[in-house]
Amino acid sequence: MASAGVARHPDADVLTAFAERSLRGLERDTVLEHLSRCGECREVVSLALPASEPAEVAVKSVRAAWLTWPAMRWGFAAAGIVVVASLAVVLHRRQQSMAADKTSPPAAVSEARNQVVPALSLQDTEKEQDKSKASPSPTGSKDGEETSRVAAHSAHNEAPAALAPIPSYASRVPVAGSLAHGPKMGIQTNLSNQWQQFSANNLVAPVRVSPATPSAASNQAGSDAVVQTQAAAPVPTADNLAAQSQGLSQQVPLGGSAESKVDRAKPLQTAIMDNSRKYAVGVAPSVSRARSAVAGAAQWTISATGGLQRSLDRGATWQDVNVNESDAPGGAGKQQASGEKAPAAIGDQKQAPSEPVFRAVAANGPDVWAGGANGGLYHSVDTGVHWTRIVPLSSGVFLTGDIVTVDFPDPQHGRIATSTSEIWITADAGQSWQKQ
């Protein structure tokens, strides 16, 4: 069949058919055999190729070169390395987040101490206090209730935008701050256990700034005279308030003489409203990262007139903070570390304390200490939403001098210096003091 033998050059027809891949089998092999031995025919075949084929073949060969295993194996290797690196990064970040979550409970606990209770905006509370000055004592539950209600409403409206709604679970978180102050409560890392314990202990009325019945303080069971908080969980929204009130089976009444009793039946929201101008309704038990962020961003200063001021927008604007305490020297006292019951200083207060004149302020995130004239020392664990009057007591001696410096490098350790060169030191967040 083959017409082109090894000895004879294939004719143009055969060479053309070969070049166009029209030859098959033995005939093609015969031509190949000839081409392997004949340079001229190889030249002819090469010259006879159409001009359009080189680009197509080159493109195909380039394309094929990319798709060949030697080229693709490196692509597969690179892809594998990228995948492994991505997994490593993801796992590392996950571990970091898990580690952060593990450490967050303490932070969350501290955050719980510093819950901003919009229902108890100090600013609005101050305004309402001005209105209700005719009734200095919040004994009238009705007045106190109204004041608290208005304060709560105002505070709610004035809740910083940065305070995001607190998750529902946080509503059951008791105030770690209060627990920290309470002798029977310690800072817990497990928030749910903390709440249960808090509920079981029935923390009583918070610190009152207005004169309350002596029995109010006496009802406090082993609680710090200066620190009483309630596991309230107000949130910037009414819904959260309602939800939290449902979650709290035991609340501390916050207003008037009746406030001395623990009204376990009252919803939290009502309890808040019952508070008579009391800022110390307690730190919201909610754990809000937004709030902690706000708390951490708060700045403090003392005005020229000795007023305490706070900025939540990095100094762009400043708000006057009214600690509204009414402690009298010799009255209130902080329980010593020994566990000695503090005098019912709170209950002895019969008059609304005058606005203190501050000289120094120190803040560690939401934990704020402010000191001023006549031994006035106030502590807030929630960026100044709630304040507790602290009356350091050491060996039967109260701090009465003008506080000129307040130094708290951390929430636990503090140093206070007075104008009379007294140095007072605490190592347990103000639960006990030692005078040097």
Partner 1 sequence: MTSAKPTSALQSVVNDLLAELHAKAGGERVGLSRESFAVVLLEVGSKHAGAASHSEARAFFLSLRVDELALARACAAGHNAAWELFLTRYREKLYLAALRIAREDSAARELADTLYADLYGTSTRDGRRVSKLASYTGRGSLEGWLRTVLAQEYVNRYRRTKRLVSLEEESEDGVQFQAPDPEPEPAAASDSRLAQATDEVLGLLSAEDRTVLSAYYLDGRRLAEIARMLGVHESTISRKLDKLAKAMRKQILAALGRRGMSRRQAEEALEIDVRDLQLDIRRHLAQESAPVAFSEKGVEARVREGEG
Q: Considering only CA atoms, which of 308, 306, 435, 291 is closest in space to residue 368?
A: 308
Structure token digits, residue 133: 């000055």
- Segment contacting partner 1 (CB under 8 A): 34-42, 286-294, 316-324, 425-433? 34-42
Q: What is the DSSP letter of 100?
A: H
Structure token digits, residue 320: 């006057």
Contact 403/418 with Cβ under 8 angstroms? yes
- Write down the least CB distance from residue 33 to partner 1, Å: 4
- Write down the least CB distance from residue 77 to partner 1, Å: 20
11 is a contact residue toward partner 1 (CB under 8 A): yes
Rounded CA separation 259/238 (Å): 23
293 is a contact residue toward partner 1 (CB under 8 A): no
45 is a contact residue toward partner 1 (CB under 8 A): yes
421 is a contact residue toward partner 1 (CB under 8 A): no
26 is a contact residue toward partner 1 (CB under 8 A): no
Contact 282/229 with Cβ under 8 angstroms? yes
Contact 432/333 with Cβ under 8 angstroms? no
In sequence order, which residues have a C-beta less than 8 Å from that of residue 391 and are 6 or more positions away? 226, 327, 329, 331, 332, 333, 334, 345, 375, 377, 398, 399
Q: What is the DSSP letter of 52?
A: T
Output the CA–CA distances (angstroms, integers) from residue 332 to 32, 65, 404, 424, in the order listed. 113, 88, 20, 17
In the region spanning residues 166 to 185, those forming contacts with partner 1, defined by CB under 8 A, are none
Number of residues that bind partner 1 (CB under 8 A): 46
Contact 138/262 with Cβ under 8 angstroms? no
- Write down the least CB distance from residue 82 to partner 1, Å: 26
Contact 406/391 with Cβ under 8 angstroms? no
Instruction: Output 54 or 75, the one with its CB closest to partner 1.
Output: 54
Instruction: Output 54 or 186, the one with its CB closest to partner 1.
Output: 54
Q: Rule CB under 8 A: choose which of 13, 101, 239, 340 binds partner 1.
A: 13
- Write down the least CB distance from residue 42 to partner 1, Å: 6
Rounded CA separation 381/372 (Å): 18
In the region spanning residues 338 to 357, those forming contacts with partner 1, defined by CB under 8 A, are none
- Segment contacting partner 1 (CB under 8 A): 11-19, 72-80, 191-199, 234-242? 11-19
Instruction: Output 68 or 354, the one with its CB closest to partner 1.
Output: 68
Instruction: Output 46 or 338, the one with its CB closest to partner 1.
Output: 46
Rounded CA separation 329/327 (Å): 7
The three-point CA angle 327-333-336 to 5° equals 160
52 is a contact residue toward partner 1 (CB under 8 A): no
- Segment contacting partner 1 (CB under 8 A): 63-71, 149-157, 162-170, 185-193? 63-71
- Write down the least CB distance from residue 19 to partner 1, Å: 6
DSSP per residue over 117-129, as a string? -GGG-HHHHHHHH
49 is a contact residue toward partner 1 (CB under 8 A): yes
- Segment contacting partner 1 (CB under 8 A): 27-35, 112-120, 208-216, 295-303? 27-35
- Write down the least CB distance from residue 7 to partner 1, Å: 7
98 is a contact residue toward partner 1 (CB under 8 A): no
Q: Rule CB under 8 A: choose which of 60, 73, 94, 131 binds partner 1.
A: 60
- Write down the least CB distance from residue 46 to partner 1, Å: 6
Q: What is the DSSP letter of 398?
A: E
25 is a contact residue toward partner 1 (CB under 8 A): no
57 is a contact residue toward partner 1 (CB under 8 A): yes
Contact 198/185 with Cβ under 8 angstroms? yes
Rounded CA separation 92/255 (Å): 51
Which residues face 370 on adjacent strands? Answer: 361, 378
- Write down the least CB distance from residue 90 to partner 1, Å: 38
Q: Which chain residues interact with partner 1 by CB under 8 A?
A: 1, 3, 6-7, 11-17, 19-23, 29, 32-51, 53-54, 57-58, 60-61, 64-65, 68
